[in-house]
């Protein structure tokens, strides 16, 4: 099968969607399936050559809506070369462009919503929601209705999507993200990470690894950590991730004002062994997001046997709670301080049991080979056939 992924950007800093495409490629290539991508990046974007599959750059996009005049002509010319197209995300030109280019053609397409239909955005970003409502009525609902299926990463995401916009008439399917087993030598990765930041050995590390963004609850995490820091001088917060809106400096001032600047390490975006070393060195992973459809970093932590402290706005929170793989609270500083307090109240045996549960949760629910098999079966169920030998 040849699968084309249509995505706004293939920049790894974009997080979950592009990482899931990479892991799907790795899970499916040995079975003879081919994954490629078309994006609206400029053809000279430096990350394009680092991806393990072929990428067709139809940018650069000329507007905030990510419009590019090259995108639809490229799709019309090449769509027949693929067995299907999977669109990643809504609200930007990639989804509308696929709908416009492929309607009436013989190439089926699917849409991965990536949490973008969550009703919480009405509260978090009310002005944007007004614009999205207009765009939904004009374009997006048609693109979703005419897709063979709309993919959700878990049951909670699917349930919430039904509450956001009208009309809502889509064929739904649950396709978890592909999250691969952590690569490399765990001990070497841990040493590499701790060697890079010499203040961290012997610390009890609480790891945040995601975008530095208000949606992720970074400010609430800093406030919550400040309330718990006095309980153990060895407790240390690591804030790892890209800073796309330049919020980190403000958060660092906040940490200074709270008297915990020396208890917080900012690493920037981590990749490769340093990223995995951060997980290996962490006692727990923390993500108090206000909205998260899946949370690939959460699942990567589980894969490393690291318990997760998360908010109940991360849509896989029920699975994690049911498996005893972490602790769940409401978002916000006060609630998350309670989450941290519960973690600190556990004895060593209880923390070790939760580490075991974290690894078991990943193995039973989130392995990439299971997710890839689910994807293939769903494509088959919706009329996409293998090409054969």
* Cα Rg of the chain (Å, integer): 21
pTM attached to this predicted model: 0.80
Q: Which tens digit of pLDDT belongs to each residue from 330-372?
A: 999 999 999 999 999 999 999 999 999 999 999 988 888 888 9
What span, in angstroms and rounded, lies between the C-alpha atoms of 281 and 277? 6
**Starting at the edge strand that comes first in sequence, how are the strands of the sheet with 55-57 ordered?**
55-57, 34-39, 2-7, 84-88, 109-112, 150-152, 172-174
pLDDT, mean of residues 303-307: 97
355 against 127, higher pLDDT: 355
pLDDT of residue 125: 82
Residue 213 has pLDDT above 80, yes or no: yes
Instruction: Assess contact for 276 and 307: CB atoms under 8 A.
Output: no
Identify the architecture of domain 186-365 in CATH.
3-Layer(aba) Sandwich (3.40)
Q: Which one of 28-42, 118-132, 169-183 scores highest in mean pLDDT?
A: 28-42
The mean predicted confidence, pLDDT, of the chain is: 94
- Whether the per-residue pLDDT at 387 is higher than 80: the answer is no
Could you report the per-residue pLDDT of 258-303, keeping only the tens digit for each?
A: 999 999 999 999 999 999 999 999 999 999 999 888 888 999 999 9
Identify the pLDDT of residue 388. 59
Task: State which H helix or E strand residue 85 sits in.
Answer: strand 84-88
Q: Give the pLDDT score at 115.
A: 82
The torsion region of residue 239 among left (phi > 0), alpha (psi -120 to 50) and beta comes to: beta
146-187 confidence digits (pLDDT tens): 999 999 988 888 998 998 899 999 999 999 888 888 999 999
User: So where are the chain's domains?
Assistant: 2-180+368-381, 186-365
User: Residue 15 is encoded by which pair of tokens?
Assistant: 């997080």
331 vs 316: CA distance, rounded Å: 15
pLDDT of 389 higher than 60: no
CA torsion angle 359 365 369 372 (round to 10): -150
Q: Is 64 exposed, middle or buried (0-12, 13-18, 19+ CB in 10 A)?
A: exposed
Residues of the chain with pLDDT > 70, as a percent, come to 99
Position with higher pLDDT, 93 vs 164 = 93
Same-fold call for 2-180+368-381 versus 186-365? yes
Cβ atoms 266, 252 nearer than 8 A? yes
Architecture of the CATH domain 2-180+368-381? 3-Layer(aba) Sandwich (3.40)
- pLDDT at position 180 is 84
């Amino acid at each position: 099968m040849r699968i084309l992924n249509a995505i706004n950007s293939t920049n790894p800093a974009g997080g979950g969607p592009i990482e899931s495409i990479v892991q799907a490629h790795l899970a499916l290539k040995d079975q003879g399936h081919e994954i490629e991508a078309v994006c609206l990046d400029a053809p000279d974007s430096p990350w394009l050559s680092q991806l393990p599959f072929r990428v067709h750059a139809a940018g650069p996009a000329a507007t905030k809506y990510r419009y590019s005049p090259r995108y639809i002509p490229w799709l019309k010319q090449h769509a027949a070369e693929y067995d299907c197209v999977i669109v990643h995300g809504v609200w930007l030109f990639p989804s509308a462009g696929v709908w416009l280019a492929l309607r009436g053609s013989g190439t089926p397409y699917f849409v991965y919503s990536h949490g973008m239909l969550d009703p919480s955005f009405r509260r978090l970003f009310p002005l944007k929601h007004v614009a999205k409502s207009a765009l939904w009525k004009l374009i997006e609902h048609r693109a979703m209705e005419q897709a063979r299926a709309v993919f959700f990463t878990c049951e909670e995401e699917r349930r919430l999507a039904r509450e956001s916009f009208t009309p809502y008439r889509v064929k739904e399917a649950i396709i978890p993200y592909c999250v691969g087993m952590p690569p490399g030598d765990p001990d070497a990765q841990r040493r590499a990470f701790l060697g890079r930041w010499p203040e961290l050995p012997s610390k009890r590390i609480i790891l945040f690894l995601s975008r530095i963004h208000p949606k992720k609850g970074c400010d609430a995490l800093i406030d919550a950590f400040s309330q718990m820091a006095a309980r153990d001088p060895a407790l240390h917060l690591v804030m790892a991730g890209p800073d796309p809106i330049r919020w980190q400096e403000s958060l660092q001032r906040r940490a200074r004002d709270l008297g915990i600047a020396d208890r917080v390490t900012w690493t920037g975006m981590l990749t490769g062994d340093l990223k995995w070393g951060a997980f290996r060195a962490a006692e727990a992973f923390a993500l108090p997001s206000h909205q998260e459809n899946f949370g690939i970093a959460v699942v990567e932590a589980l894969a490393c046997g690291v318990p997760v402290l998360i908010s109940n706005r991360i849509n896989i929170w029920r699975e994690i709670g049911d498996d005893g793989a972490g602790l769940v609270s409401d978002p916000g500083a006060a609630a998350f301080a309670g989450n941290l307090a519960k973690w600190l109240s556990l004895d060593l045996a209880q923390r070790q049991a939760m580490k075991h549960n974290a690894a078991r949760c990943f193995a039973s629910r989130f392995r990439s080979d299971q997710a890839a098999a689910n994807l293939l079966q769903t494509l088959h169920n919706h009329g996409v056939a293998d090409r054969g030998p």
